[in-house]
Amino acid sequence: MSKVLIFIDWYLPAFKAGGPIISINNIVNNLAGFHDFYVVTSVTDLGGELVVEKSDFNKWKKLDENHNVIYLNRPLFSIGKLINEIKPAIIYVNSVFSFKFSILPIVLAKKNKNIKRIIVAPRGMLGEGALKIKSLKKKNFISLAKIFNLYSQIFWHASTQKEALEVFKIFGNKSKVITAQNFASVSNQIGFKKKKKEDGKLNILFASRISKKKNLLLLVNAICQSKFKKHITLKIIGHNENPEYFDKCLAFIKNNDISFDYLGPLPHSELSYHYQNCDIFCLPTLHENFGHVIMEALSFGMPILISKNTPWLNLENKQMGFDLELVSELFKEKIDLFYNLSDNEFSEFSKNALNYYKEMNNFEKVTADNVKLFTI
């Protein structure tokens, strides 16, 4: 089996960065029979909290039978040595803009003739909404990357056709792009369990990093506009990446006397309870290349209310949710609709949500596409 060396800014037991960690964990666990995977990451979680003891810094550690992980405290001085030590056939990097865990590994790998394939997973960073955040800095980097041919002879991993088009738009139609959907996390649901909504109440779940990109403030504004706001509870789960922005959200919530519960960031394993015990999942995001939390919510039969800036569109036709333009009034209208649904109507939305999850996650096809991605 060929060796694959993966670079990612944060990894298990880190969890605050969300989707990218889940994506890599699922790749390693589902393709362990095809390749030997080695994961290179930092010693911290998103936000700077240490995830390993200092005695485990810069040592290979086996998390389980599939995982060889090394936690670097000084990656700038270690990555070249690791590439020479492991002698991988494939380098796989997450993100576009991380110097330590994306740009530097690419530069060093391109100098190593033994490496047969370099794969870059943009993880949604090339989407229009994502590029608007710190836009000048990102625009300048992309221009320099083109001048110095940083991404020549590399393969892009697009998780959806939408993300593939984003790569082509920025780096040209000659870019080598392989579309392979992310492996979805398997929920603990077995078959369809009827989801009930209590009359006169609506429990909304927002589970994502708290940042401008995830757009919590629009959801808060929509709830504040609802004539049923006194009967709505908003549960917020996620790392507070932007305290100033979150303070603004909380001010709106408190000034409008909205019932809410902020649980902070939770390990992925603890989210199941909240998927099961909330009514609908809302994410008015500026951009998602995939959205693991969306898929996970669907796997628990949760109707979803999301923006049009994800790959999951035309949801209303399937009667399991809505994808909307980023207008708070539109979100408010659908929140009111969900509030007014009878138990039978809500149950139908819930059943359709689970069916959509199954339809969009053909394990055999997803596996075949990901095997192709790593085939040299």
Query: 2-183+362-373 with 202-360: one CATH topology?
Result: yes
One-letter-per-residue 3-state SS of the chain: CEEEEEECCCCCCCCCCCHHHHHHHHHHHHHCCCEEEEEEEECECCCCCECCCHHHCCCEEEEECCEEEEEECCHHHCHHHHHHHHCCCEEEEECCCCHHHHHHHHHHHHCCCCCCEEEEECCCCCCHHHHCCCHHHHHHHHHHHHHCCCCCCCEEEECCHHHHHHHHHHHCCCCEEEECCCCCCCCCCCCCCCCCCCCCCEEEEEECCECCCCCHHHHHHHHHHCCCHHHEEEEEECCECCHHHHHHHHHHHHHCCCEEEEEECCCHHHCHHHHHHCCEEEECCCCCCCCHHHHHHHHCCCCEEEECCCCCCCCHHHCCEEEECCCHHHHHHHHHHHHHCCHHHHHHHHHHHHHHHHHHCCHHHHHHHHHHHCCC
Are 294 and 124 in contact, with CB atoms under 8 Å apart?
no
Angle between helices 292-299 and 19-31 (to 10 degrees): 70
What lies within 8 Å, CB to CB, of 361 at 6+ separation is 181, 184, 295
pLDDT for the residue numbered 191: 47
Buried b (16+ CB within 10 A) or exposed e, 162-198: bbbebbbebbeeebebbbbbbbbbebeeeeeeebebe
Are 61 and 32 in contact, with CB atoms under 8 Å apart?
no
- From residue 103, give the alpha-carbon distance in Å to each of 42, 79, 98, 205: 15, 11, 6, 36
For the stretch 221-273, pLDDT in tens is 999 999 999 999 999 999 999 999 999 999 999 999 999 999 999 998 899 99
| 8: its two tokens | 């990612």
pLDDT for the residue numbered 190: 43
pTM, to two decimals: 0.93
Buried b (16+ CB within 10 A) or exposed e, 100-110: bbbbbbbebbb
CATH number belonging to domain 2-183+362-373: 3.40.50.2000
What lies within 8 Å, CB to CB, of 288 at 6+ separation is 124, 127, 294, 309, 310, 311
Range 202-360: architecture per CATH: 3-Layer(aba) Sandwich (3.40)
- From residue 354, give the alpha-carbon distance in Å to each of 2, 196, 226, 349, 374: 37, 14, 27, 9, 30
pLDDT for the residue numbered 193: 56
- Regions in the chain scoring below 50 on pLDDT: 190-192
Write down the domain spans for the chain. 2-183+362-373, 202-360
Pairing of β 60-64 and β 67-72:
antiparallel
pLDDT for the residue numbered 196: 74
